Each structure stands twice: as C-alpha cells, then as structure tokens.
Amino acid sequence: MNWKQPKVYAVQHKSETVRAASRSGGIFTAVSDWILTQNGIVYGCVLDESFRAVHIRTECAEDRDRMRGSEYIQSELGDTYKNVRKDMTNGRIVLFNGTSCQVAGLKQYLGKEYENLLCVDIVCHGVPSPKVWEEYLHW
C-alpha cells in the first residue's frame, strides 16, 4: 500500500440493472464476475431462510447474486476461513468479501500473503448485534 499517495478510484457498474440490484455502485458484481470467469470461488454474506446473516461459498452467479445488498447484522463465518485456505491450497482463485475486520481476521488466520486471494472489504461503520436482530424477529 502506498500510504503517501494512495490510489483511489470511484467506480460504478456500467449496467443500470446491476446497480439497481446492488447496495451501492455494484463493484462487487464486476469483481466477482471476473473471479467466476477464472473458475474462481466467491465468499460473501447472504440472509438465509431463517433470516440469519451467514457467509457462504459459491462458484455460480445465482448464489453470488444473493450476496448483493447489505445485511446490517454481524454475519456468521462458520468454517469460512478454513474453506478459503483449502480452496487456495487447491490452486483456486478466491474472492472474499466482508467487513474490514473480517478481512483482517482472515489475513491474520492465514498468516501469509497468497497470490490467488483477493479481498474486498465494504465501507462499514460497524455491525449491529445478531442478538438484537434475533429479538426483533421474535417481536
């Protein structure tokens, strides 16, 4: 990282349909599309059938589309970090999307740089507690 002169790009997806389906400018779709064309794997957050925010692994655009949009709850990572390492060890290109602390956690877990790992962290002011969300659902 060049801290003295960081490179900053403001981008938006060319497709209005993609932008409308995304929370912000849709860069996630553009980057993950490229990863999928490279036979890569995408990890990101979805809201499951029980309304829990969870990280899932996918190799297809349909599941990737489910990752679009912001779930304002701390997501459950489960075995995600382990699976990311396994995929990379098997030579696959991996895209991990999450909050900056999830990305920092993954890098800490891996302990070294991998050429076949691309991390994208969302702009994030912090994640609301899953417990508050659970109580809201009960209510």
Smallest distance, Å, CB 35 to ligand FAD?
A: 12
* Burial class of residue 68 (count of CB atoms within 10 Å of its CB; 0-12, 13-18, 19+): middle
Smallest distance, Å, CB 132 to ligand FAD?
A: 13
Given a contact cutoff of 8 angstroms between Cβ atoms, the answer to whether 42 and 67 are in contact is yes
Residues whose CB falls within 8 Å of the CB of residue 23, separated by 6 or more in sequence, listed in order: 68, 69, 70
Q: Which of 74, 68, 95 is nearest to 84 (CA)?
A: 95
Closer to ligand FAD by CB, 91 or 122: give it: 122
Terminal C-alpha separation, the chain: 46
Closer to ligand FAD by CB, 22 or 41: give it: 22
Smallest distance, Å, CB 121 to ligand FAD?
A: 8
Return the residue nearest ligand FAD (CB atom). Answer: 44
Closer to ligand FAD by CB, 90 or 100: give it: 100
Closer to ligand FAD by CB, 88 or 127: give it: 127
Question: Which residues in this chain contact ligand FAD in the complex, by CB under 6 A?
Answer: 22-29, 44-45, 53, 67-73, 75, 97-99, 122-125, 127
Smallest distance, Å, CB 4 to ligand FAD?
A: 25
How far is Cα 2 from Cα 33, in angstroms, rounded to an integer? 27
